[in-house]
A and B are shown apart, each in its own frame.
Chain A
Amino acid sequence: MRISISCGLVALACLCVGSASAADPVDFTKHIRPILEKNCVSCHGATKQKAGLKLDLGKRVLKGSLNGPVVVAKKSGESKLVHALNGTGEAGQMPPDGPLPDAEIKLIARWIDEGAVIPADEVDPSSQHWAFVPPKKAAVPAGVHPIDHLMAAEWAKRNVTPAPEADAATLVRRLHLDLTGLPPTPEQVDRFRIDEYEKRVDELLASPAYGERWGRHLLDVWRYSDWYGFGGELRNSQKHIWNWRDWVVESLNANKPYNRMIREMLAGDEIAPADPAVVRATGYLARSYYKFNRNVWLDDVVEHTGKAFLGITLNCCRCHDHMYDPISQEEYFRFRAIFEPHQIRLDPAAAEIDPEKRGVCRVYDADAKAATYLFERGNEKQPKKDKPLPPGVPMAIAPSGFAPKEIALPSAVAHPTLREAVQKAQIEYAAAQIKQFKAEPRNKVAVVQLQAVKAKLAADAARYAKPPHPRAAELIRHAVALHLETMALAAEADLAEAEEALKALKDGKGVEAQKKKIADLKPKVNAARKACETPPADYPPLMPSYPEASTGRRTALAGWIASKDNPLTARVFVNHMWMRHFGQPLVPSVFDFGKNGRPPSHPALLDWLAVEFVQSGWDVKKLHRLMLTSRAYRMRSSFIGPEANANRKADPDNLLVWKMNPRPLEAEAIRDSLLSVSGLLDPTAGGPELDHTDDAAKLRRSLYYRHAPEKQMPFLTAFDGPSPTECYRRATTVVPQQAMALVNSKLSARAADAVAKGLTANEPGEVVAEVFRKLLGRPPTEIEAKLCAEYLMNNPPAALVQAIFNHADFTTIR
């Protein structure tokens, strides 16, 4: 092993079986556990328990298997464990691939004969992993900001000095860009007083732009994608998924508690089934739709639900038990079973009868009986059909709190035609047909059609009432009759129109074809009339019906995730928020808090924030406020001088956050800033996604444009825009393509022109000052003023404006 930091070697050293001298008693931890760990726990341990036997801890060795104890203290001859090791018991030879060395078996027997003593304070190593232990709040003295107190402890340990506070102009720009993704206007800069810092924080958190900025952050984590496929064929995600995007933005602006957000996204259809404003949140699940393979679809749901909310890589245990974390392959499939019944449907938006045109995609439990089987080695062609798996969650993370209960759904949810809005839309649509077709024979069709629609709605209301209305059968018959009459009238109208058309043709081309058409229509009329005489039992529904109950599995899952007892949920979220405020996360592996992830730089701080967040009622804005009002957040991002250099020696990557990190502005914020400073930004919020090729024509905030694989704005892609398939943390690169985007794009030219047109100054020095004020919120330095004024001698103001778009201070949060 040549890597010098070798955890493997350290672990190995612990594994060496200590030699127990004959005089000393055998020590379980020192002598026995290593043998069991090395040879037995892969089948009898945290992730697998053959025969219900776990041999990873002394107390579990003593507990025994499903068939009773395997160790009888002081009697190794009667202990099943020893028999198994000797190959003389019912279980056959253990381990199955060959017996242990004789000395080891004897050592185990001796331990039993000496009384099978185990230490009283045994700790389970797999549950001791920091992220699986519930967070606790460290004591923080009164009068100190908790973040500063806990960070100061780390600074002191490493002897680093925090940077001084940034100046007011830097802070106000930092706050605006950070919270809204838009630079402050000159007026907002002028108005800012440093003693009103907290007031400005509150103002910005209350602005609608906050939800757009942080909504986009969360859409990264929740992997927002508009629908995509092949040509017009939908293969991934869903049409109208923007409803979920709007829910994210609106939820943040309304400061919906994070635990509530989790519940609504995973189970909005169960917890508030009749409320479309909640149900649209399940777009989170609809996003993972994949047309060609249900397994791929559910794999994505499992993987990303694990990564996004829990920071665990469930995807690693699809084919085998997790390599690093105490999660078994069976638990992977139990987690999948939570989602097994769910499907996606489109609900029509109000005043619309065709959900394809305008609808809301959402999930519902379609089949409570859908079975989940473990796939051998993850191979979908090898399901273990003899053992359907019930839903479940990884027990090692939080053992209790998951108990699904079936949920009855309101009739109007199962049967959309019971909804007033749907009824109104159906009737209005039919009524509009009457107005549209004023002439006979169509008018009559439309009139009867309206009657049929009304009759069907009445019949639906009667049959789906609880209990069904006594006249339901009669109403159904009535609706059937009207439906058939409509069909017959429509067929007759088709024929009449075709005959009219023939007359108009007189002779010549088309006569024969028209005659044939008429001949084909005649039997249809006859058939339709005949059908009226022998009506079927039911009419084709105006809209499909769905099950009247849901399994409650997703509600149970959401409750388990969004629980104060889940050690991961709050930590993972707090870490995401911290990363986006401070430019680097506390836990670098943002989607993996397991053993293969990386430990937190400030464990006590992470835990304090996580507990505080839960105690605050998962209050997201409060969490922002907590971070933003710390002294740590207000530090300078550039820190030079002897103290800073000593810091740099001790911690060159600023892992201890002894200064603020200067951050490149994200792709969307760059584009939005161009629009904002030029006054071109259309602040309209929400609604269907805009065409991504229209980004220089329509001028709304970037999150409202189509964003899917192969359908992204090139401008955003150039600046490390998020991958729509997975983006827990954005890359930050500096490549020449970014320069080209800001210098050569139509968008930048148009924004520069608009800024130039709005300038009020004429004299070069004043023009420069005005441009700096508008774009950077500060006056130019002497050097900047000189350089820019010289440039203006030979170049128009628009070219200067465009140059300032490329100023590092324009594209950086300092």
Chain B
Amino acid sequence: MPHFHRRDFLSSGLAGIALASLLHRDGLLRADDEKWTPPDGQPHFKPKVKRVIWLFMVGGTSHVEAFDPKPELNKYDGKTIDSTPHKAVAESPLVKKNLREFVPGLHKVQPKLMKMQTGFKKYGKSGLAVSDWWPHVGGIADDIAVVRSMWTTDNDHGAQLQFHTGRHALEGPFPTIGSWVRYGLGSLNDDLPSFVVLGKPLADCCGGTFGHGGNYLGPEYSGVPLLVDAKNPLPFLPGKGQSTGKQREQFDLIRMLNEHVAERTPDDPAVRAKIQSYELAFRMQAAVPEVMKLDAEPEDTRKLYGLDQPETKEFGQMCLAARRLSEKGVRFVQVFHGSNGGAGAWDSHADILKNHPPLCKQVDQPIAALVKDLKQRNLLDDTLVVWGSEFGRTPGAEGSAGRDHHPYGFSVWLAGGGVKKGVVHGATDELGFHAVEDRHYVTDLHATVLHLLGLDPRKLAVPGRKRLEVDYGKPMSAVLL
């Protein structure tokens, strides 16, 4: 049972308490809301894991060149879909139904099939198929559960936001999966934020800071971006001569003054977020620089993550920092790769053979290292690692050598406590087009994460904020032990 710190929860529950008590006093809670109490920081049932590391590739990673091999693409390379025996794929009503389109018919299916641009190998005892662009992840095949049947409804990069909120970008921002975890569970370490963001966050086009936002849960549930930079871990640290005791006194005064503001303006969630951020700031300014001292890691660990190679160094540092943060009790570490101010580095419309291999090279070894390292430290048993991207890429070619956005069927994988090892779940059709077996909308992934943490999303719902059935999703029980 993870313990949590009461102090953290005293303030973190404030938002809910304040609003709910306002509504309650005036008899505005519905009968079922009346039973509502803010989360107490404890899981709702026995959890399998305590923490999550969420690895997100920005721009759309090709599933048919990663974890979902499709020999039929090689067989019908250069042929149009309707000239193959798989004609029905392009005619499936899912082509339109799967998407939330505003201009019907404008989303073209890329009809000319393009062969897989890399080979696949079977790895480990499980014989899990992983492409040659992901050899290191191949090396941890026996530890991961691949889900090949994900789908989403936005075929543009708003899907990045959707992957984290479960709602189409057109509906606006909603709380993200990390913020739900932060909202539902108490902190394991008061000295660090419970929800940390590493790597450059999403660009404004595709969600921006909403991609790690708490939205209506309140700004205190948003992810806290940290720099992985030992020389400059935080932009403003206390001066050398600063007395900690004196500063504590000052922080206490600030807290009391702002709590007084919060009492007077209970409907301003930013005040409560501010109170919490100060508590965290005081403790974090000592703890974060320590965590970011990656040099403290032994040479072989640094090598494992690829810190000795220019291609892997940057993302290796992120993954290593993610492990160090998790180890110290951070509940949710959201790691971005490939955010480039626009659609994202993985968005390979023109030439996938040029685009994907160097990106895979940057992340493959660090990601595998993360899983191996967690395992060797016995942390993998109560940690969940999730890998994903906003969608896959089209089986058909875009232009001569690119692949377009593909929301109809794509892959994610999970590893860690409570998750089956070396399994494949769900399937796309023979072209890798539609998710056809055990289809999972992105909120099923959220449901799985929450389930493993011992959380029931229905119990987290906030009065006055209607959630749809689809928002809750269903845990992917087939990949769970």
Interface contact A42-B470, CB-CB below 8 Å:
no
Instruction: Answer whether residue A141 sits at the interface, using C-beta atoms and an 8 A cutoff.
Output: no
Interface contact A11-B258, CB-CB below 8 Å:
no
B156 proximity list for chain A (CB < 8 A): 323, 596
Binary flags per residue of B155-187, CB closer than 8 Å to A gives 1, else 0: 010000000000110111000000000000000
Instruction: Answer whether residue A355 sits at the interface, using C-beta atoms and an 8 A cutoff.
Output: no
Instruction: Answer whether residue B271 sits at the interface, using C-beta atoms and an 8 A cutoff.
Output: yes
Interface contact B249-A741, CB-CB below 8 Å:
no
Contact among B167, B247, B264, B398 for A638, CB-based, below 8 A = B264
Interface contact A652-B465, CB-CB below 8 Å:
yes
Interface contact A6-B235, CB-CB below 8 Å:
no
Nearest to B204 among chain A residues (CB) is A726
Interface contact A7-B464, CB-CB below 8 Å:
no
Q: Report B196-226 residues with CB < 8 Å from chain A CB.
A: 204, 208-209, 216, 219-220, 222, 224-225
Q: How far is the CA of A368 from the CA of B273 in the complex (A)?
A: 56
For residue A305, give the distance in angstroms from its CB to the closest CB of chain B.
17
Instruction: Answer whether residue A357 sits at the interface, using C-beta atoms and an 8 A cutoff.
Output: no
B106 proximity list for chain A (CB < 8 A): 42, 321, 323-324
For residue A381, give the distance in angstroms from its CB to the closest CB of chain B.
9
For residue A600, give the distance in angstroms from its CB to the closest CB of chain B.
14
Binary flags per residue of B390-419, CB closer than 8 Å to A gives 1, else 0: 000000001100000000000000000000
Instruction: Answer whether residue A641 sits at the interface, using C-beta atoms and an 8 A cutoff.
Output: yes
For residue A397, give the distance in angstroms from its CB to the closest CB of chain B.
16
Interface contact B285-A807, CB-CB below 8 Å:
no
B282 proximity list for chain A (CB < 8 A): 739
Q: How far is the CA of A791 from the CA of B249 in the complex (A)?
A: 8
Pick from A424-432, A523-531, A643-651 the stretch touching chain B: A643-651
Q: Report A800-814 residues with CB < 8 Å from chain B CB.
A: 800, 802-804, 806-809, 811-812, 814
Interface contact A588-B172, CB-CB below 8 Å:
yes
Instruction: Answer whether residue A153 sits at the interface, using C-beta atoms and an 8 A cutoff.
Output: no
Interface contact A595-B102, CB-CB below 8 Å:
yes
Pick from A253-261, A412-420, A470-478, A781-789 the stretch touching chain B: A781-789
- Given contact pairs A649-B23, A649-B464, A807-B261, A795 touches B100 in the complex (Cβ within 8 A): no
Binary flags per residue of A761-799, CB closer than 8 Å to B gives 1, else 0: 000000000000000000001011001100100110001
Interface contact B22-A640, CB-CB below 8 Å:
yes
B224 proximity list for chain A (CB < 8 A): 735-737
Tally A residues with Cβ within 8 Å of B: 88
Contact among A3, A734, A741, A814 for B274, CB-based, below 8 A = A734
- Given contact pairs A38-B105, A718-B235, A743-B247, A736 touches B253 in the complex (Cβ within 8 A): no
B274 proximity list for chain A (CB < 8 A): 734, 739, 808, 811
For residue A235, give the distance in angstroms from its CB to the closest CB of chain B.
15
Instruction: Answer whether residue A758 sits at the interface, using C-beta atoms and an 8 A cutoff.
Output: no
Instruction: Answer whether residue B266 sits at the interface, using C-beta atoms and an 8 A cutoff.
Output: yes
- Given contact pairs A12-B96, A795-B246, A784 touches B28 in the complex (Cβ within 8 A): no
Nearest to A596 among chain B residues (CB) is B102
Interface contact A324-B470, CB-CB below 8 Å:
no
Interface contact B253-A787, CB-CB below 8 Å:
yes
Interface contact A595-B235, CB-CB below 8 Å:
no
Nearest to B93 among chain A residues (CB) is A12
Q: Report B141-162 residues with CB < 8 Å from chain A CB.
A: 153, 156
Contact among A641, A734, A807 for B254, CB-based, below 8 A = A807
Interface contact A637-B235, CB-CB below 8 Å:
no
Q: Report B252-291 residues with CB < 8 Å from chain A CB.
A: 253-254, 256-258, 260-262, 264-268, 270-271, 273-274, 277-278, 280-282, 284-285
A664 proximity list for chain B (CB < 8 A): 270
Binary flags per residue of B63-104, CB closer than 8 Å to A gives 1, else 0: 000000000000000000010000000000000111111111
For residue B283, give the distance in angstroms from its CB to the closest CB of chain A.
9
For residue B298, give the distance in angstroms from its CB to the closest CB of chain A.
30
- Given contact pairs A588-B172, A803-B257, A648 touches B22 in the complex (Cβ within 8 A): yes
Instruction: Answer whether residue A662 sits at the interface, using C-beta atoms and an 8 A cutoff.
Output: yes
Instruction: Answer whether residue A439 sits at the interface, using C-beta atoms and an 8 A cutoff.
Output: no
Nearest to A791 among chain B residues (CB) is B253
A644 proximity list for chain B (CB < 8 A): 22, 267
Interface contact B236-A741, CB-CB below 8 Å:
yes
- Given contact pairs A15-B104, A808-B270, A736 touches B281 in the complex (Cβ within 8 A): yes
Instruction: Answer whether residue B341 sits at the interface, using C-beta atoms and an 8 A cutoff.
Output: yes
Binary flags per residue of A32-50, CB closer than 8 Å to B gives 1, else 0: 0000011001100000000
Q: How far is the CA of A228 from the CA of B32 in the complex (A)?
A: 58
Q: Report A635-675 residues with CB < 8 Å from chain B CB.
A: 637-642, 644-646, 648-649, 652-653, 659, 662, 664
Instruction: Answer whether residue A144 sits at the interface, using C-beta atoms and an 8 A cutoff.
Output: no
For residue A395, give the distance in angstroms from its CB to the closest CB of chain B.
17
- Given contact pairs A5-B171, A12-B97, A37-B104, A638 touches B28 in the complex (Cβ within 8 A): no
- Given contact pairs A638-B265, A734-B274, A6 touches B100 in the complex (Cβ within 8 A): yes
Interface contact A323-B219, CB-CB below 8 Å:
no
Instruction: Answer whether residue B230 sits at the interface, using C-beta atoms and an 8 A cutoff.
Output: no
Instruction: Answer whether residue A8 sits at the interface, using C-beta atoms and an 8 A cutoff.
Output: yes
Instruction: Answer whether residue A501 sits at the interface, using C-beta atoms and an 8 A cutoff.
Output: no
Binary flags per residue of B328-350, CB closer than 8 Å to A gives 1, else 0: 00000000000001000000011
| B239, B253, B267, B277 interface centre (most CB from chain A within 10 Å) | B253
Q: How far is the CA of A776 from the CA of B88 in the complex (A)?
A: 69
Interface contact A323-B103, CB-CB below 8 Å:
yes
Contact among A11, A729, A734, A784 for B260, CB-based, below 8 A = A784
For residue A811, give the distance in angstroms from its CB to the closest CB of chain B.
8
Q: How far is the CA of A5 from the CA of B247 in the complex (A)?
A: 51
Interface contact A8-B236, CB-CB below 8 Å:
no
Instruction: Answer whether residue B238 sits at the interface, using C-beta atoms and an 8 A cutoff.
Output: yes
Binary flags per residue of B304-342, CB closer than 8 Å to A gives 1, else 0: 000000000000000000000000000000000000010
A718 proximity list for chain B (CB < 8 A): 235-236
For residue A705, give the distance in angstroms from its CB to the closest CB of chain B.
16
Q: How far is the CA of A494 from the CA of B97 in the complex (A)?
A: 82
Interface contact B280-A8, CB-CB below 8 Å:
no
Q: How far is the CA of A627 from the CA of B27 in the complex (A)?
A: 35
Instruction: Answer whether residue B118 sits at the interface, using C-beta atoms and an 8 A cutoff.
Output: no
Interface contact A736-B105, CB-CB below 8 Å:
no
Q: Report B436-476 residues with CB < 8 Å from chain A CB.
A: 441, 464-465, 468-470
Nearest to B29 among chain A residues (CB) is A649
Instruction: Answer whether residue A745 sits at the interface, using C-beta atoms and an 8 A cutoff.
Output: yes
Nearest to A727 among chain B residues (CB) is B204
Interface contact B105-A41, CB-CB below 8 Å:
yes
Nearest to B201 among chain A residues (CB) is A731
Interface contact A37-B105, CB-CB below 8 Å:
yes
Q: How far is the CA of A59 from the CA of B408 in the complex (A)?
A: 37
Interface contact A653-B281, CB-CB below 8 Å:
no
A799 proximity list for chain B (CB < 8 A): 246, 250
Interface contact B28-A728, CB-CB below 8 Å:
no
B353 proximity list for chain A (CB < 8 A): none
- Given contact pairs A379-B350, A799-B250, A745 touches B236 in the complex (Cβ within 8 A): yes
Instruction: Answer whether residue B237 sits at the interface, using C-beta atoms and an 8 A cutoff.
Output: yes
Which A residues are closer than 8 A to B by beta carbons? 1-9, 11-12, 15, 37-38, 41-42, 97-98, 319, 321, 323-324, 377, 379, 588, 595-596, 598, 637-642, 644-646, 648-649, 652-653, 659, 662, 664, 714-715, 717-718, 723, 725-729, 731-741, 743-745, 781, 783-784, 787-788, 791, 794-795, 799-800, 802-804, 806-809, 811-812, 814
Could you list some 18 contacts between A and B, CB below 8 A?
A: A3-B153, A3-B468, A9-B97, A98-B82, A637-B268, A642-B28, A644-B22, A648-B19, A731-B208, A732-B219, A735-B277, A740-B285, A743-B281, A744-B236, A787-B260, A799-B246, A804-B257, A812-B268
Closest 8 CB pairs of A and B: A739-B281, A736-B281, A734-B273, A740-B236, A734-B219, A638-B265, A744-B236, A731-B209
Which B residues are closer than 8 A to A by beta carbons? 19, 22-23, 25-26, 28, 82, 96-108, 153, 156, 167-168, 170-172, 193, 204, 208-209, 216, 219-220, 222, 224-225, 234-239, 242, 246-247, 249-251, 253-254, 256-258, 260-262, 264-268, 270-271, 273-274, 277-278, 280-282, 284-285, 341, 349-350, 398-399, 441, 464-465, 468-470
